[in-house]
């Protein structure tokens, strides 16, 4: 379709839409609920690190997961420290996906986390686009 072929001129706007959508989702649907859940939630979330051989201080790891999702989502939205934020978010999604597999949920249960892992790795290579604080 000719009307859709011209959208390639708006790649940076497409990245902005992606950053805003993912950023808001990670701030409000993933990070903030974990952070506000307190010690019990942090311990439950942090126990996922057992899947990578880390079995100490699960509350700290759970807090860091929530912090990564909330602050990483904000950084993603702004396009600030973009690539490090994508790296931390990708690692968090790797651990989340491995946890879903370890809980016996199979690929269907882990799919969302692994899909987001792929998205964050891809965004790390693409960069934030020109409508960002980090623009170059």
The per-residue pLDDT for range 42-76, each reduced to its tens digit, is 999 999 999 999 999 999 999 999 999 999 999 99
More confident residue, 7 or 12: 12
Q: What is the DSSP letter of 10?
A: G
Count of domains observed in the chain: 1
Instruction: Return d(Cα 96, Cα 3) in angstroms, integer.
Output: 40
What SS3 state is found at 126? helix
Flag whether pLDDT at 116 surpasses 90.
yes
Tell whether 92 is covered by a domain.
yes
What is residue 136's predicted lDDT score, i.e. its pLDDT? Answer: 62
Q: Which residues are within 8 A (CB) of 37 and not within 5 positions of it... i.e. 6 or more apart? A: 45, 66
Does residue 67 lie within any of the structural domains?
A: yes
Instruction: Say if 133 falls within a structural domain.
Output: no
Does residue 97 lie in a domain region?
A: yes
For residues 90 and 76, give the distance between their C-alpha atoms in angstroms, rounded to a whole number. Answer: 12
Instruction: Tell me if 4 is assigned to some domain.
Output: no
Q: Which residue has the higher pLDDT, 5 or 110?
A: 110
| Owning domain of residue 116 | 10-126
Entry pTM: 0.93
Tell whether 1 is covered by a domain.
no
Higher pLDDT, 60 or 6: 60
At 53 the pLDDT is: 93
Residue 56 neighbours by CB distance under 10 Å: 9
Which pLDDT belongs to residue 134?
A: 82
Query: What secondary structure letter does DSSP report for 46?
Result: H
Task: Place 97 in a pLDDT band, splitting at 50, 70 and 90.
Answer: very high
Q: Look over the chain and give the mean of its residue pLDDT values, rounded to a whole number.
A: 95
With respect to residue 3, please indicate whether it lies within any of the assigned structural domains.
Answer: no
pLDDT at 44: 96
- Position 98 scores a pLDDT of 96
């Amino acid at each position: 379709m000719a009307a859709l072929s011209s959208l390639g001129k708006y790649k940076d706007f497409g990245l902005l839409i992606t950053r805003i959508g993912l950023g808001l989702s990670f701030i409000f649907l993933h990070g903030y609920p974990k952070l506000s859940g307190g010690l019990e939630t942090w311990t439950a979330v942090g126990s996922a690190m057992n899947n990578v051989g880390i079995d100490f201080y699960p509350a700290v790891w759970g807090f860091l997961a929530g912090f990564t999702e909330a602050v990483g989502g904000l950084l993603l939205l702004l396009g600030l420290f973009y690539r490090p934020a994508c790296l931390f978010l990708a690692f968090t999604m790797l651990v989340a996906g491995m946890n879903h597999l370890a809980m016996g949920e199979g690929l269907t249960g882990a799919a969302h986390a692994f899909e987001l892992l792929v998205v964050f790795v891809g965004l790390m290579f693409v960069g934030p686009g020109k409508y960002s604080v980090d623009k170059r």
